[in-house]
Structure 1
Amino acid sequence: MAVTGSTSTTGFDQSTFDAFLAARNEPEWIQDQRREAFAHYQRLLAEPLDPEEYKRLDLRTFRPEQYHLGGQQAGVSGQAAGLSTLMRDRAEFAGSVVHQDGHCVQSSLAETLTAKGVLFGDLSTLLARHREQLEPYFLTRAVDPQTDRFSAWHAAFWTGGTVLFVPRGVEIDIPLYSLISLAEDGVADFSHTLVILEDGTSATLLEETSSTDPKTAGLHVGAVELIVGQEARLRYVQLQNWNGSVKHIAHQSGRVARDAMLQWTVGALGARMAHIHQDVHLDGRGADAQVNGVTFATDRQLLSYYTQQTHHQPDTRSDLLYKEVCRDKSRVIWRGMIKVDPDAQKTDGYQRNDALMLSADARADAIPGLEIEADDVRCTHGATAGRVDDEQLFYAMCRGISEYEAMHMIVEGFFSAVYDRIPVELVRETLSQVVERKLGIGE
């Protein structure tokens, strides 16, 4: 089955791209990379999307020409006004970066970390200043611009985003924070997150997306690249919290080296439609990845994840747990795959997806899968879907608990298996509060 969306390039055609390049004050190597990506984008527009990934998404109403790039850069000293964020003002961070409509408006990093060679800030600025450290990783090892039209579109038009580079042997104990926000109506945001941990390092990056207005329409075509060096430890959290008028499409990929650990937590909470292509690659012996997902869809939201855990080397481990709640007329889609290369003996791969539906019109689709080419592995998967037990609700209400409180207890209990895997208290508390808030939507 061929899957096609809109192939119109109006708004992002050759003339728009040429004007975009001319307005960018950036090194020639970046411009060359953009030109190559735009050529891929034009070619891929004429090709069908992968039916395994996209056939359950209805892209017939998706029109790129409805969106435009953000206005003039606000400057790094500016402030993002009107933002309603989940984590920004609730903790102390070792560094903070804020982007609005593709432009960096705030950036800071503790002087002690700067003195150790840590880079944390606006991607555009740091790519130009630190090419030697960053170019080998940027759109080369994790996210492939030729994956599909969306990855190529992003690689051609990326604007802003956050980079974290931790040099060999440096350990960062206090979390860092990144915010990606939309303010102007109809803006297309192409923010890119690049995290590079060299050997023997550790860091925690908490990232979230937010809209300044509850009704402003927007588009996010993003990418996340997580590079974890040998014996390094990375905790990365991304909470997607756009308003209900934003469409969100992103390619995200992690590469985990020998004896390294990646803990990756995602929260899919906002957006009218969201689709994430999420890959984890276990590249070195002893590499370990834990992927946690919390999804809560309401009203007519469509939230979709396409995940892959790929084991390239022996003695690697991956553990994915996604928990999804949907109510009203929302829909959640998860398609997961564990892949094991021929040389990846002694692989331990696990994936599980559980969905809880709070209303009769809600829908959840879960499709786990295995592709194993080695003969000495342990790979398992599972998926469940069910509705709230009426007897459980009745039992609670007979004991003086309101229906709302009972539903909250059931949903919190459902998500608790994921919460227990998250070591950052701020993230656990934030997710719990969002769940409580979303239980009141659609009444």
Structure 2
Amino acid sequence: MGTQLSFDRGSAEALSVSKQEPTWLTVRRAEAAEKAQTLDWPQPEKMRIARWNLEAFGNYKAAEPAAGTAELPAALQELLSKEEDASGLLVQRNSSRVLNRMNEKLAAKGVIFTDLETAAREHVELVQKHLFSVVDPYTDKLTARHAALWTGGVFVYVPKNVEVELPLQALLYSDDAEATFAPHILLIADTNSRVTYVDNVVSAFAGEVAPSVHQSVTEVIVKAGARVQFATVHHLAESVTDLSVRRAKVEQDGRIEWIVGDLHDGNILSDTVSVLEGSGATSDAKVITIGARAQKMSVTTQAVHVGRSTDSNMVTRAVMKEQATAIINGITKIEKGATKANGVQTEKVLMLSPKARGDANPILLIDEDDVTAGHAASVGQVNPEQIHYLMSRGIAKEDAERLIIYGFLAPVVSEVPIPSVREQLQRLLERKLES
């Protein structure tokens, strides 16, 4: 077992006070720690995560600031966009921010891009109002513990009518299995604003390490007419359990685009939900994952239609190797009164091993008549006829299989609108498929 944090109301309160956090945040952390004692772990469909290593949260360890990206490990530097291709960069190492820079012109327009702990002190009104406004901290033991223990994190605010043309990028990495690694991302896109946010969540351990947990919660608030592209790529070590909850609340004519690359090597709980509250709100979610060895994955994507004339599209592609298990859930929920809503989802799983397991579960929950909804789901193996055809053209069998797999994943990868993220996904896919 990895290092466990002493966890109760008093310890959460003491940690907050030691970091000189505002009183309102100290109170919230303490209440969440107390509430967590009474709650159960989430129970995703067909996956008993209570059997996983969920206790190795580690201890808070503040890292020394970095003067620049040159001080980062070489493997992590490769994940960063060129400075001229990004509007800003934030780096979190284990429990705290170590680097933060941002375009001065955007700052002059009122754009905020900093770690959440700093924002809680310097932008109290925004953070206090919106923190845990999309995710209920008392949903289950996972969200309550996170509300008590989150560290570092990311805060983005884009004012009304401001467009951030180049992506804001965050690199969140762990190189100490005994340090708490629990970033909270809070992004607020005000009326008619535009922003693209990209993060990489990675580990950089040297040699064998004890088990640890990465727990993160993301809250995205899309005001009327705003547009947010949110891309996240996770590639942590096999020793890390990745627990990631993402929620977006989208107001009238707003749009959220999710791009999720779950390329983690350990067990995964990935839960991404768009709540389309306002009329004309839209959501587009693209999720890609690869399972290997004895990995277990619960990957859920959901769209909740509340407003009228809302539209959602969800595409998930999973490739399963060796003895990996994946439960892929797609949920379209159309509430009463959400007339003219349209929800479409597709889940496809490609099996590369007879010992692997992949379940694709499309779920439609519809409480309104005047709507349209559709789904497609499939689980299958590599088509031998396709392999035979490619081999007849002089392509070796292994290369033929690789081409078919890349073709299977291409509908997600090719539609990623951010070139740097698309290239990263491609490299990581190749690495995990060939390992």
Please, what TM-score do these two structures have when normalized by structure 1?
0.92
Q: Following the alignment from structure 1 to structure 2, what is the Cα–Cα distance between the partners of residues 133 and 16?
A: 27
Query: Which residue in 1 is equivalent to 2:164?
Result: 172
* Corresponding residue for residue 290 of structure 1: 284
| Counterpart amino acid of residue 75 in structure 1 | P
What is the deviation of 1:307?
2.5
**Closer/same/farther in 2, CA of residues 176 and 58 from structure 1, 3 Å limit:** closer
User: Which residue of 46, 50, 58 maps to 1:59?
Assistant: 50
What is the CA deviation profile of residues 144-197 of structure 1, one whole-angstrom value per residue up to 9, with x for unaligned ones?
Answer: 101110011000111111111001110011111011100112333110011100
Equivalents in 1 of 2:326, 2:90: separation in Å? 31
Within 2, Cα distance between the matches of 1:33 and 1:263?
30
Once the two structures are superposed, residues 228-247 of structure 1 have per-residue CA deviations (whole angstroms, 9 ceiling, x without a partner) of 11111111100011111110
Task: State the 1:28 CA deviation.
Answer: 0.3
Q: Spell out the pairing of 1:141-160 with structure 2 (5 A cutoff).
A: 142-160=134-152
Q: C-alpha separation between the residues in 2 aligned to 1:408 and 1:355?
A: 15
Q: Measure the CA separation in 2 of the matches of 1:15 and 1:137.
A: 25
- Distance, in Å, in 1 between the alignment partners of 2:42 and 2:114 is 34
Number of aligned residue pairs: 429
- The yes-or-no answer on 1:225 pairing with 2:247 is no
Q: Check conservation: 2:331, 2:365, Cα contact below 8 A.
A: yes
2:116 to 111, 116, 123: 123
Q: Which residue of 1 aligns with 2:58?
A: 68
Shift of 1:415: 1.1
| Kept in 1: contact 2:96–2:152 (CA 8 A) | yes
Q: Which amino acid aligns with 2:147?
A: A
What does the per-residue CA deviation read over 1:50-96, in whole Å, with 9 as the maximum and x for residues that have no partner?
Answer: 54x254134324251x4412323423647663363463145621100
Aligned to 1:272, which of 262, 266, 282? 266
Letter in 2 for 1:297: G
Deviations 1:318-358 (A, max 9, x none): 10000111111112211221111111000001111000011
For residues 21-51 of structure 1, the C-alpha deviation after alignment (integer angstroms, 9 at most, x for no partner) is 332211001111112211221111xx4x454
Distance across 2 between alignment mates of 1:365 and 1:382: 13
The gaps in structure 1 that reach 5 residues or longer are 1-5
> Contact 1:84–1:211 at 8 Å: present in 2 too?
no
**Cα distance change on mapping 1:430 and 1:90 into 2, 3 Å:** farther
Which range moved further: 131-140 or 278-287?
A: 131-140
CA distance in 2, matches of 1:114, 1:55: 46
- Cα 1:245–1:50 shift into 2, 3 Å: closer
- Residue in 2 that maps onto 1:202: 194
Match of 2:371 among 373, 377, 380: 377
How far apart are the structure 2 equivalents of 1:153 and 1:336? 26
CA distance in 2 between partners of 1:9 and 1:75 (Å)? 25
Is the Cα–Cα contact under 8 Å of residues 70 and 184 in structure 1 kept in the other structure? no
Please identify, of 294-303 and 280-289, the stretch whose mean Cα deviation from structure 2 is larger.
Answer: 294-303
2:129 is aligned to 136
Amino acid paired to 1:304: S
Match of residue 330 from structure 2: 336
**For residues 60 and 33 of structure 2, what CA distance do their matches in structure 1 show?**
19
Check whether the contact 1:84–1:210 (CA below 8 A) recurs between aligned residues.
no
What one-letter code is carried by the residue in structure 2 that aligns with 1:120? F
Verify: 1:314 aligned to 2:308, yes or no. yes
Residue 393 of structure 1 aligns to a residue whose secondary structure is: helix
CA 353–437 in structure 1, closer or farther in 2 if over 3 Å, else same: same
Say whether 1:106 aligns with 2:96.
no
2:75 matched to 1:84? yes
Correspondence for 1:94 = 87
Unaligned stretches of 5+ residues in structure 2: none
Report the alpha carbon displacement of residue 429 of structure 1 after superposing the two structures with TM.
1.9
Distance in 1, matches of 2:330 and 2:100, equals 36
Distance in 2 between residues matched to 1:67 and 1:343, nearest whole Å: 42
SS, match of residue 263 in structure 1: strand
The two structures have a TM-score, normalised by structure 2, of 0.93
Q: Given the alignment of the two structures, is residue 28 of structure 1 paired with residue 20 of structure 2, yes or no?
A: no
2:173 and 2:4 map into 1 onto residues whose CA distance is 25
Which letter maps to 2:124?
R
Residue 265 of structure 2 contacts residue 291 of structure 2 at CA under 8 Å; is this kept in 1? no
Question: 2 CA distance for matches of 1:38 and 1:121?
Answer: 25
Structure 1 position 14, deviation (Å): 4.3
- Match of 1:135, SS? helix
Q: How far apart in 2 are the matches of 1:188 and 1:236?
A: 24
Deviates more, 1:147-156 or 1:129-138: 129-138
AA of the residue aligned to 1:265? I
Instruction: Report the residue type matching 2:363 in the other structure.
Output: G
Residue 378 of structure 1, CA deviation: 0.3
Separation in 1 of the partners of 2:263 and 2:405? 14
- Looking at structure 2, the residues matched to 74 and 293 of structure 1 have their Cα atoms a distance apart, in angstroms, of 34
CA distance in 2, matches of 1:42, 1:434: 38
Stretch of structure 1 that moved more, 182-191 or 144-153 = 182-191
Q: CA deviation at 1:408?
A: 1.9
Report the Cα distance in structure 2 between the residues aligned to 1:237 and 1:179, rounded to whole angstroms.
12
Q: Aligned to 1:255, which of 223, 226, 249?
A: 249
Q: Which aligned segments of 4 or more residues in structure 1 are displaced greater than 6 angstroms? A: none
Give 1:3's aligned residue.
none
Matches within 5 A, 1:31-42: 31-42=26-37
For 1:58 and 1:28, locate their aligned partners in 2 and report how far apart those are by CA, in whole Å: 34
The amino acid across from 2:18 in the alignment is A
**How much is the aligned-residue C-alpha RMSD, in angstroms?**
2.1
Change (3 A) 1:335 1:83: farther
Provide the identity percentage.
30
The answer to whether the 8 A contact 2:330-2:362 is kept is yes
Contact 1:83/1:211, CA 8 A, preserved across alignment:
no
SS of 1:410's partner is helix
